[in-house]
Amino acid sequence: MTTNTSNDTSFFGHPNGLRTLFFTEMWERMSYYGMRALLVLFMTASLQTQGLGFTVASAGAIYGLYTGAVYFLGLPGGWLADRLIGGKQAVWYGGLIIFAGHIVLAVDLQNLFFVGLILVASGTGLLKPNISAMVGQQYDDDDGRRDSGYALYYMGINIGSLIAYLVTGYLQENWGWHYAFGAAAIGMGLGLIQYYFTNRSLATESVAPANPYVGAARQRAWLCVLGVLAVAVVIIILAHLGTIVIEPVALAEKVAIIFTAIFFIYFGFIYFKGQLNDNEKQRMWALFLVCVASACFWSGFEQAGSSLNLFAQNYTDRALESGSWLTSWFGMDAIPTVWFQLSNSLFIIILSPFFAALWINLAKRMIDPSYTIKCAIGIVIMASGFLVMFMASQYAAQGLKVAPMWLVTTYFLHTVGELCLSPVALSAVSKLSPKRFAGQMMGVFVLTYSIGNIIAGLLSGNFDPENVQEMPNLYLQIALFSIAIAIVIGLMSFKSRFWEKAGIQEKAQ
């Protein structure tokens, strides 16, 4: 049974299906961010403290491969929903796979760590793109509530991440790794339970595949899916037995090249073989600059879970005063390392309404920066966060512990940069893509997240705690490189703003 949602206002003035998706995504994000925050810390922890004892380089590469795979697997995840099983089942089965991965991690971290990671990444690739698409499907095409519905949904994501950092950070430092990873499993379990009992409220469009295969084509598609799964299982078993030896850094470098090649090939195929008119080609050039900006931005921003996380653990003064309420109520003598990452979620919740109003008010004053200049501004602000870390790491290089506000300031600047770039880039993809390739272009754009995350993992591997004197220079290099990219993109905006306007004029005709 499904619901007609055109007149449904039961969830803060929105369709009741949004409630289901809001809480499912909130708990899924709680599980994802909770585990992601722990990964590098766990992999670099010594064997004596029940960690894996990996080098920072290997841990960073694995972290980049995992977070990059999460976004890349959204492409086949979306295809499965559109062609074979529909969004409703994709979210359910994706959630079950994620839950299984978290259970594996909670039960046997040392021996089944990579099996758990693969399950979580695969399930997220199936769930994440489809639950986001289902939000829009709860509204009619002319329903003006759609944008505010996505804003409410985005709030659920940040509430989930806040819960994740608070819970897993506390459990990791006071109860141990197994309890922290187990909390992520509980979060996904709660999301599955509420989804199971409330999914009847979802709109009809969320249930059936949007463009299903039929007959022999459907059978061939399922055979391909099963074949890919069989090959993946064999590789995992051989790697687990040691028959195949995988070197994380080398693999991450190859995967980064492969993802980048796929991006250029797919983008070029649409540009040269998509029978685009002149205005559509101009929009594609403007969109290309946005994609470059996105990949560069996330390669810096995603240091949050890796190098900045290690900086919080090793070089930040996290000690609490004996009379503080955290000490009195919870018996804590130090701020959990993971808690620094919740700064991003808090700042997003606080600043999102301001930035939503900022662009509107600028437009009213006839100030309408191009997409590329907004992205360039976002990169510069993000880079300024690394200039803060350059100064902080100079104290660390002298053997000193730095005040927490250095990291908090960095996360604030990174969040401001994110709010300048991330929603603007998504808007650019939806508005500048050729209409008949809109879905595929969103998939191509998602590749920039994968590329940025893998590069971030490789960069974080250079932050060797045994060579702390090099840390200031590394942060400075990231900052200067990001600023250089922003300058190039900013200069190109003098041309790209005309490309963007050509597209808008064409759509208006």
Instruction: Work out the end-to-end distance of the chain between its first and last CA atoms, rounded to an integer number of angstroms.
Output: 41
Over the stretch 277-302, which tens digit does the pLDDT of each residue have?
888 888 889 889 999 999 999 999 99
Over the stretch 189-237, which tens digit does the pLDDT of each residue have?
999 999 999 888 877 777 777 778 888 888 998 999 999 999 989 988 8
- Give the whole-angstrom CA distance, residue 482 versus residue 478: 6
Cβ atoms of 196 and 25 within 8 Å: the answer is: no
Residue 103: partners with Cβ closer than 8 Å, 6 or more residues away: 185
Over the stretch 465-504, which tens digit does the pLDDT of each residue have?
777 888 899 999 999 999 999 999 989 888 877 777 665 5
Q: Looking at the predicted structure, is the pLDDT value of residue 316 above 70? A: yes
Could you tell me which residues are beta bridge partners of residue 52? none
* Residue 364 pLDDT: 66
Cβ atoms of 182 and 168 within 8 Å: the answer is: no
* Residue 504 pLDDT: 55
Judged by DSSP in three states, 316 sits in strand
**Rounded mean pLDDT, 79-87:** 83
Query: Which H or E run contains 3?
Result: none
Q: At what angle do helices 86-107 and 16-44 cross, to 10 degrees?
A: 30
Judged by DSSP in three states, 402 sits in strand
CA angle 299, 304, 309 (to 5 degrees): 135
CA angle 235, 222, 95 (to 5 degrees): 70
Joined tokens for residue 331: 């018996």
Cα 444 to Cα 24, 62, 75, distances in angstroms: 26, 23, 9
**DSSP letter for each residue of 439-502:** HHHHHHHHHHHHHHHHHHHHHHTT--GGGGGGHHHHHHHHHHHHHHHHHHHHHHHHHHHHHHHH
Prediction pTM value: 0.87
Dihedral over Cα of 171, 174, 177, 179: its sign = negative
Could you tell me which residues are beta bridge partners of residue 482? none
**Rounded mean pLDDT, 339-344:** 89
Residue 85: partners with Cβ closer than 8 Å, 6 or more residues away: 93, 209
Residue 42: partners with Cβ closer than 8 Å, 6 or more residues away: 51, 52, 109, 177
Closest among 447, 3, 427 to 198, alpha carbons compared? 3
Find the range with the poorest average confidence among 30-44, 113-127, 424-438.
424-438
Judged by DSSP in three states, 159 sits in helix
Average pLDDT, the chain: 85
Phi-psi region of 247 (alpha: psi -120 to 50; beta: other; left: phi over 0): beta
Residue 73: Cβ within 10 Å count: 22
Joined tokens for residue 69: 């795979």
**Whole-number percent of the chain with pLDDT over 90:** 33
- Give the whole-angstrom CA distance, residue 32 versus residue 6: 32
